[in-house]
Amino acid sequence: MKVNNMTSNKIKSHHKRKEGIPFDANLFKDITINRSAVERRAATLSGRRSVKKQWQAAWLLKALSCIDLTTLAGDDTKSNVHRLCAKAQSPVRYDLLKAMEMEDADITVAAVCVYHNLISDAVEALGDSNIPIAAVSTGFPAGNIPLKEKIKQIELSVAAGATEIDIVVSRNLVLQSDWKGLYEEVAACRKACGEAHMKTILATGEIPTYSKVAKASWVSMMAGSDFIKTSTGKESINATIPVSLVMIRAIREYHELTGYKVGFKPAGGISKAKQALNWLILIKEELGDEWLNPELFRFGASSLLGDIERQLEHYVTGRYSASFRHPMA
């Protein structure tokens, strides 16, 4: 029952930082997105690809290695974070890994994501595991605070031990098409991050058109974002395949123009293994195998890990277990 190892390129050290490029509205001002064409393309993904048996198990292990294991609840405590970090270091039961001959693959999630006040608890729990700690910042989730306060939050999170920062853009800049203002805000946040990698959250559920999503993606990448991210997970509409396709096409075009590889992170509402497979297929078809690793692709999720482990147990035993047997579900 051996599963091919697709997780050998899991994150241990980051790619070289993206420096960004000077603001140039001519690169994106004429972008228009055909909504019906995007939605037609997105609708074909789940129907044209079917991954089964050991190949499905391998893809699920790949998905697991790309998870930013997240807890962003109002009742988070030190014990919650310690439990999350323990699961991050051992995301799949040993007996399941052994049955798949993957017990020596050193499989972990890509990162742990918490609020600023819990960074020190994550640092304590993760020790020398090399799993990055991501912190949400800049007035998450609304982002409606002055830029000076956003910068201060980033600096405090980096000082506390965060190696990745998830920032939230000011949606009013996007809605008003103030692209220069958005560039300056994201660039200032990028500078404040220092060596910490920056994921820029566009909150696409609050952006009314795909054309604005594409332009916001371009501006965020030009300003030096290491990743662009769909959502905070707190909007009424979070990550969807169509909006992800728009952002991924922007990443591809930006790479073709500049040579910089920018990562992509869908977040919010991704709780089932089948959904994760659809996103992996989308990345493979649109960006290629180079993006199928934690350096360039992440899931922002909390309950996804539990369902992946449940599907892996079904692969090994032929039976579906109850969800309560997977405590991070």
229 is catalytic: yes
Say which of 10, 199, 215, 265 is annotated catalytic. 265
- Please list the residues that pair with 184 across neighbouring strands: none
CA dist 111 to 90, 116, 292, 300, Å? Answer: 12, 15, 16, 10
CA dist., res. 189 & res. 184, Å (int) = 9
DSSP code, position 139:
S
Angle between helices 304-317 and 273-286 (to 10 degrees): 100
Residue among 64, 42, 95, 44 nearest 248 (CA) = 42
Say which of 166, 199, 212, 307 is annotated catalytic. 166
191 is catalytic: no
Strands 197-201 and 133-136: unpaired
CA dist., res. 140 & res. 72, Å (int) = 10
272 is catalytic: no
CA dihedral 118, 120, 126, 132 (to 10 degrees): 80
Angle between helices 241-258 and 210-222 (to 10 degrees): 40
Say which of 87, 229, 261, 307 is annotated catalytic. 229
CA dist., res. 27 & res. 280, Å (int) = 28
Active site residues: 166, 229, 265
